[in-house]
Amino acid sequence: MTTILDGKKLSAKMTDELTQKVAMLDEKPHLAVILVGENPASELYVGLKKKTAEKIGIKSTVIKYPQNTDEKTVLDKINELNNDKNVHAILVQLPLPGQISEKKVIQAISPQKDADGITPENIGKISIGVEPYAYPCTPKGILSLLDEYNINIEGKHAVVIGRSNIVGKPLAQMLLNRNATVTICHSHTKNLTDIIKSADVLISAVGKNKLIKKEMIKSNSVIIDVGTSKVGNRVVGDVDFDNLFELVSYITPSPGGVGPMTIASLMENTYNLFKLSRNG
Ligand code: GUN
């Protein structure tokens, strides 16, 4: 029997719990989001983050810049937010326009205000098995989903397709920290189908519709779909869900799986960073 990993349901539970915790605070946590340019997907994501924050009682400020903004403007703003005691968490929506170095921008964010958990200090802490100030949101959301359904990955072969700094790489490290045997695949990987076939847990973060087909996967495996792409007006994942559903033990829908978990994790990070700012 196949179980759907219901990210919508779990994220609603998480945000309800956060709403109650935030209501007990004497000050609202404050998330600052920097958005550069007019990328429609980024605008959509930032809108969803703002809406969720407001629902919980978290204050959010979106700082919008035009596409041609220079790097210094963004770095100066991050510096200002780092020093602003009334801002507890900072997120720079990615991707950034080509004239701005994402690496420089990420390194400029204070690790104690790193809502995305992607600064070198936080990533480095995860790498050596130390608790970071915040975990990257999508990997954190995926692990929360696995925990909710009591899926133990110790000793299992976890295959991650995609090696981005915000999803693939930190997720691989976090799975490794839980004693999974981890393979990271990417656009240069040879024999991708053979590797996928050996996965007990498959996580696809590519953004290519129907990349993962029935004949590629191992029976009774766990399938996590992180990819998003558009078919017409519809947002779809990487996995050919309808055709392989019967074969697997657990699977995330897309949409309604990892996406809402990413946003709920961001809200948890914001709350935790607020608490950190209070407790030192
Ligand atoms: N772009 C797409 N997803 C994300 C995310 O989780 N965080 C940031 N900062 N940018 C993104």
pTM (2 decimals)? 0.97
For the stretch 65-122, pLDDT in tens is 999 999 999 999 999 999 999 999 999 999 999 999 999 999 999 999 999 999 999 9
> CA-CA distance, 49 to 112, in Å (whole number)?
20
Ligand 1 centroid, distance to 38 Cα (angstroms) = 15
Is 143 found in the same domain as 91?
Answer: no
Q: For residue 81, give the CATH number of its domain.
A: 3.40.50.10860
Is 174 found in the same domain as 252?
Answer: yes
Per the annotation, the verdict on 156 as an active-site residue is: no
Q: For residue 242, give the CATH number of its domain.
A: 3.40.50.720
Write b or e for each residue in 140-174: b if 16 or more Cβ atoms lie within 10 A of its Cβ, otherwise e.
Answer: bbbbbbbebeebebeebbbbbbbbbebbbbbbbbb
| Tokens coding 245 | 């559903």
- Among residues 60, 92, 110, the one where a domain terminates is 110
Per the annotation, the verdict on 116 as an active-site residue is: yes
For the stretch 156-215, pLDDT in tens is 999 999 999 999 999 999 999 999 999 999 999 999 999 999 999 999 999 999 999 999
Q: For ligand 1, is residue 36 a contact (CB within 6 Å)?
A: no
User: CB–CB of 236/230 below 8 Å?
Assistant: yes
For the stretch 60-78, pLDDT in tens is 999 999 999 999 999 999 9
For 81, residues 6+ apart whose C-beta sits below 8 A from its C-beta are 32, 87, 90, 113
Q: For ligand 1, is residue 48 a contact (CB within 6 Å)?
A: no
Is 231 found in the same domain as 180?
Answer: yes
Q: Which domain holds residue 76?
A: 26-110
Is 239 found in the same domain as 146?
Answer: yes
Q: For ligand 1, is residue 212 a contact (CB within 6 Å)?
A: no
Is 92 found in the same domain as 171?
Answer: no
Structural domain count, the chain: 2
